[in-house]
Amino acid sequence: MDIKKYIEKNGYIIIDGAMGTYYSTLSNKETTMSENANIDDKSIIKKIHEEYIDAGAKLIRTNTFKADIYSHKKDRDYTKLIIENGCNIAKDAVNNRDIYIGASIGPINANTETKSEDIYNEYLFIVDTFISCGINIFIFETFSNYDILEKIAKYIKGKNPNSFILVQFMVMQNGYTGQGVSIKNISNNISSNEDIDAFGFNCGTGPIHIYNNIKQCNFKDKIVSALPNAGFPDIVNRKIVYNQNTDYFAKIMIDIKNIGIKILGGCCGTTPAHIKKLSEKIKNIGLENIEVKVKIEDKNTFELDKNIKKRVLDIAVELDPPFGADISKIMSAAKELKESNINYITISDSPIGKVRVSSMLTATKIQNETGIDVMPHICCRDRNIIGLKSDVLGAYVNGIKNMLVVTGDPIASADRNEIKSVFNLNSVGLIKLIDKLNNEEFKEDKVNIAAALNLNVVNKKAEISKMEKKIEAGAKLFLTQTIFEDSAIEYLINMKKEKGIKIYAGIMPLVSYRNALFLDNEIPGINIPDKYINMFSERMNRDEAEEVGIEIATQIIYKFIDYIDGLYIVAPFNRVNMVKEILKKVNV
């Protein structure tokens, strides 16, 4: 039975999960470029294929995502060897079982001097090699544009009209690819292309954002795929890791299936455990009535102390700059905050490795137009030491005298095909650089250097050790990661502070049940207890959910308010109305 008939008969097909990140975990290697293992470590690739098949995948992808001369920087004989071995390893893993094998083909990222004709010919060579290996399912993954895909699809269909072609795009949470192509543009164009059998989305974001983006698509009876990441990555002991909440992944994937998506699987950070959980949940839909949302308690309320004393605390509020050029919303939010007499507006610097408007330039505009002191985040990830020093000097001469120094979130594995991290300095190194400028260039009016503190980690002593290094480097103020757990609150209350050092406790108001699930499962460093998640219901409207979010934030603040120097409130989706209400309730 060909794959189209299988999908038509069953209503869906489960594809495998990540290869590169899972290979990195099993091999204990930092690289996620697993293609060389088709030559020098075939057994581990076969093992990965077999684990996905045993987990329930009916379609597996060859380990050939980066099999091209521009990725491995060798000749075409080497490309051919990777592809041929990749196909043979997949066939050995299938072992005559009723499992489909698809050719995994990623975007070719050549240098800017490479002619488009040369890149197109490289794709044709790759396709021809797969055809010679007897492969007739082609899966183009993580693309940012569809122009060349339409030409390649026509070429494949000319060779074999019965080939099945799936093209997948990496769309960020804002609904656009890295090259600025919108998800609506993709769905409108690809869905009418007769040479392309299916289209969809992989990588870029976790399950929630894939779900939200796909709802915008025009299917036109086309088969659509969804292969999200496990979430956003974090760096632990210099390795990129992803959250491993398989229950959450499978739950959102069922929601994705229920809106008509027929090819279901995973990308970066997913493992056979994710695919197994997904497979089990799909099989048990009728038994568990999975379409009914998770039963949760009605919101709980708590009584506030009406006689709470007035406290004098510093207040920093974080706003997110936009993905595009329209800055009106953040400016409106900043102007509204001016009425609350806050101390700083902090501006994030392309958090979770996704491009936003410059934090430095946004902060400058806000400070100039509102008069509120600003504290832009400055991230080490995207600049070398020349760029970092230049940005600090430029910000200073434009009146920026407060800076929050962060190392920066890592870039997701697949994104690194197009985007390269820099990390010329880490946060300690950048703090030292700014402190040196304070002693040389900024003597008369020094920059207030702030740094990050994450008390959500298991090894809190190690985090305090990092804090001490940052203090030694020149940091005087610390803003903590968002706090929800009692263990982090207890540690914050009992930790000893050095003289002259201030700590602002991080608070992020939750706005809905799905928002709470997303933060808990997809964002590293944030852990939300079930008691707070269960205060929400999916039946709540926006106002009701915001009320619960304000209650939770207020309750948490009351636990540590007598032990901190300030509050660092992250305005969710720039909803400053929630920030203002929280400040009123805690009487600061």
Q: At residue 418, does pLDDT exceed 60?
A: no
Nearest partner of 55 among 203, 270, 252, 290, judged by Cα: 270
Cα distances (Å, whole numbers) of residue 203 to 17, 77, 427: 11, 29, 28
Distance CA 336, CA 331 (A): 9
Residue 302: pLDDT band with limits 50, 70, 90: very low
**Percent with pLDDT over 70 in the chain:** 90
pLDDT of amino acid 538: 87
Does the pLDDT value for residue 299 go beyond 50? no
pLDDT higher for 312 or 248? 248
Q: With 50 as the cut, is the pLDDT of residue 292 above it?
A: no
Q: What is the pLDDT of residue 294?
A: 32
> 131-175 pLDDT, tens per residue?
999 999 999 999 999 889 999 999 999 999 999 999 999 998 788
> For residue 241, what pLDDT band results from cuts at 50, 70 and 90?
low
Hey, do 3-288 and 314-585 end up sharing a CATH topology, with the first three levels equal? yes
H/E stretch holding 277? helix 272-283
Instruction: Report pLDDT digits (tens) over 476-519.
Output: 999 999 999 999 999 999 987 778 899 999 999 999 999 999 99
Q: Are 467 and 454 in contact (CB under 8 A)?
A: no
Is 70 exceeded by the pLDDT of residue 550?
A: yes
pLDDT at residue 411, rounded to an integer: 52
Contacting residues for 177 by C-beta, under 8 A, at least 6 apart: 143, 144, 145, 169, 170, 171, 186
Tell me: domain 3-288, CATH 3.20.20.330, correct? yes
CA-to-CA dists, residue 413 to 53, 241, 242, 351, 521, angstroms: 23, 10, 11, 16, 18
pTM for the complete prediction? 0.79
Average pLDDT over residues 360-377: 93
**Residue 545 in tokens:** 């959910």
Under a CB-based contact definition with an 8 Å cutoff, are residues 367 and 373 in contact? yes
pLDDT(335) > 50: yes
pLDDT for 221 equals: 79
Which residues lie closer than 8 Å to 525 by C-beta, 6 or more apart?
Answer: 234, 454, 456, 457, 481, 482
So what CATH class is 314-585?
Answer: alpha beta
pLDDT at 537: 92
Q: Read off the pLDDT of residues 369-396 as tens digits, 9 standing for 90 and up.
A: 999 999 999 988 777 888 888 989 999 9
- Sequence spans of domains, the chain: 3-288, 314-585
Dist CA 154 CA 246 (whole Å): 38
Helix ranges (H only) for 319-456 are 328-337, 359-370, 385-397, 427-440
* Residue 87 scores a pLDDT above 90: yes
> Angle 246-258/272-283 helices, nearest 10 degrees?
50
Instruction: Report the SS3 class of residue 476.
Output: coil
